[in-house]
Amino acid sequence: MGKHMAPLALLSVSDKTGLVDLARCLTEEFGFDLLSSGGTAQALKDAGIPVTKVSDYTGSPEILGGRVKTLHPRIHGGILARQDLPQDLADLEAHQIRPMSLVVVNLYPFEQTIARPDVRLPEAIEQIDIGGPAMLRAAAKNFAHLTVLCNPSQYSSYLAELRQQGAASLSFRQACALRAFEHTATYDQAISSYLAAQASEPASEPASEQPFNATPALEVLPSRFQLTGTEVQTLRYGENPHQPAMWYQTGVAPTGWAAAAKLQGKELSYNNLVDLEAARRIVAEFTEAPAAVIIKHTNPCGAALGDSLVEAYTKAFTADSVSAFGGIVALNQPIDPATATELTKTFLECVVAPACNPEAEEILKAKSKVRVLILPDLLSGPQHLVKQVAGGFFGANRR
């Protein structure tokens, strides 16, 4: 192999956001050669971008309906080669393998698939990526010699590295490797959680025909409990102003507070979210009669039922009107004009309800700056309750 061969990039993505623009910059601006497979190769060809199919490069066809295409020594040798080690370079030369400079991979949409209520086990199983995680892990392990990108949001930063210094810095490559391992860990956690949920459900029909149940009634907790999340937003600070904090959501589709619609008010803080969840858990105990709960610093100031929502809120407020000032209110029914009027009579940090009447919304906007959140699944909580302690955590079923 020539010492001055063009840099080689392997592109194999399910999410094709930004793919064509990245590939065009790599080839036209930086002289990369591209390897690709399946739909990614077709997308690049359709855009007029020169690309070599993985099967042509390896000399091995895609088999088993596409299940095996990148699992080949010419692919993984090029990814894993230590390019400063003479023996590795000799192996590349002997087996006609080109070293990779860039690996761009994102995975089959497993979480998006199982989020559908009608998905069946065989369909979910086909969305378990094999070659993708293998390439990501190999490239991340070898970050000393190449860059791995697993999300379209990284493309512009990588191109900026090339433009500024001709190659990605070691610190950038290491940060990308961490991102890749986080990505594969989250992916595997989603698969294991799905299969655990499948195993916990009574088999009323063959397993291959059972739909995925997002909230199975687990009787036995798993021996290994995993929890991963995706950033929702950076919070201004944590419990105290000197503490940094980040808000994460579980799963690929926003649920719970991550799915709440904000009608008005400032961004939520760490303490707002803690109090909102405390209020939600109490008000979720009441599903029939109108109910209202007021929380201050995670402590209930008042909780009441009423014949109407405004009566429930008034009772809860009168239980401790002093502490209710600056509190958090959770209501188990849509906010109506009468309740909205009462809510504007004192300063409140946040109000959450499953819905809000348009007239009530106008009342709140006109007379108050209170944060108002709409959370349709207000009465639905997490499947498991987790409490962190020094050196570990507790897990329990919520039912």
Give me the long-range contacts of 306-313 (CB less than 8 A, separation at least 24): 308/336, 308/338, 309/333, 309/334, 309/335, 309/336, 309/338, 309/339, 310/336, 310/338, 310/339, 310/341, 310/342, 313/339, 313/342, 313/343
pLDDT at 144: 93
| pLDDT more than 90, % of the chain | 49
Whole-number pLDDT of residue 337 = 95
- With beta carbons less than 8 A apart as the criterion, state whether 121 and 201 touch: no
Q: Give me the mean pLDDT over the 52-81 stretch.
A: 85
Give the per-residue pLDDT at 214: 42
Phi, psi for 67 (deg, rounded to 5): -65, -30
Are 107 and 132 a contacting pair, CB within 8 Å?
yes
Q: Which pTM was predicted? A: 0.64
Cβ atoms of residues 305 and 286 within 8 Å: yes
Q: What angle do CA 301, 307, 313 make, to 5 degrees?
A: 25
Tokens of 295: 């929380």
**Residue 318 predicted with pLDDT over 90:** yes
Radius of gyration of the chain (CA): 27
Architecture of domain 8-193: 3-Layer(aba) Sandwich (3.40)
| pLDDT the model gives residue 398 | 63
Look-up: residue for tokens 């916990």? 200
Answer whether residue 130 shows pLDDT above 50: yes
- Tell me the HSE value of 55 on the side-chain side, using a 13 A CA sphere: 12
Condensed to tens digits (0 to 9), the pLDDT of residues 151-168 reads 999 999 999 999 998 999
Distance CA 188, CA 194 (A): 10
**12, containing H or E segment:** strand 8-13
Strand ranges (E), 216-340: 230-235, 245-249, 261-264, 291-296, 299-305, 327-331
Could you give the angle at the alpha carbon of 397 between the alpha carbons of 233 and 184, nearest 5°? Answer: 45
Q: Are 15 and 32 in contact (CB under 8 A)?
A: no
pLDDT band at 101 (very low <50, low <70, confident <90, very high): very high
For the stretch 19-38, pLDDT in tens is 999 999 999 999 999 999 88
| % of the chain at pLDDT higher than 70 | 90
Calculate the CA 303 to chain-centre distance: 34
CATH 3.40.140.20, applies to 254-374 = yes
pLDDT recorded at residue 200: 56
pLDDT digits 0-9 by tens, 295-309: 999 999 999 999 999
List the structure tokens of 328: 């958090």
The CA-based dihedral angle spanning residues 109, 112, 117, 121, taken in that order and rounded to the nearest 10 degrees: 20
On whether the CB atoms of residues 328 and 283 are closer than 8 A, the answer is no
Active site (annotated) includes residue 297:
yes
- Give me the torsion for CA of 174, 175, 180, 185, rounded to 10°: 110
- d(CA 100, CA 8) in angstroms, rounded, equals 5
Mean of pLDDT values over 362-382 = 85
Mean pLDDT value of segment 233-249 = 88
Q: Above 90 in pLDDT, residue 393?
A: no
CATH 3.40.50.1380 in the chain, residue ranges: 8-193
In the chain, CATH 3.40.140.20 sits at 254-374
Identify which has the larger pLDDT, 99 or 126.
99
Confidence of residue 107 (pLDDT cuts 50, 70, 90): confident
Q: What is the mean pLDDT of residues 261-272?
A: 88
What is the structure's pLDDT at 4? 58
pLDDT at 2 over 80: no
Would you state the pLDDT for residue 211? 47
Which residue out of 95, 266, 297, 367 is catalytically annotated? Answer: 297
Instruction: Look at residue 384 in the predicted model and tell me its pLDDT.
Output: 66
Give pLDDT, residue 150: 93
Task: State how beta strands 261-264 and 102-106 pair.
Answer: unpaired
pLDDT in tens, 171-220: 999 999 999 998 898 888 878 777 777 765 544 444 444 444 444 444 55
pLDDT at 361: 92
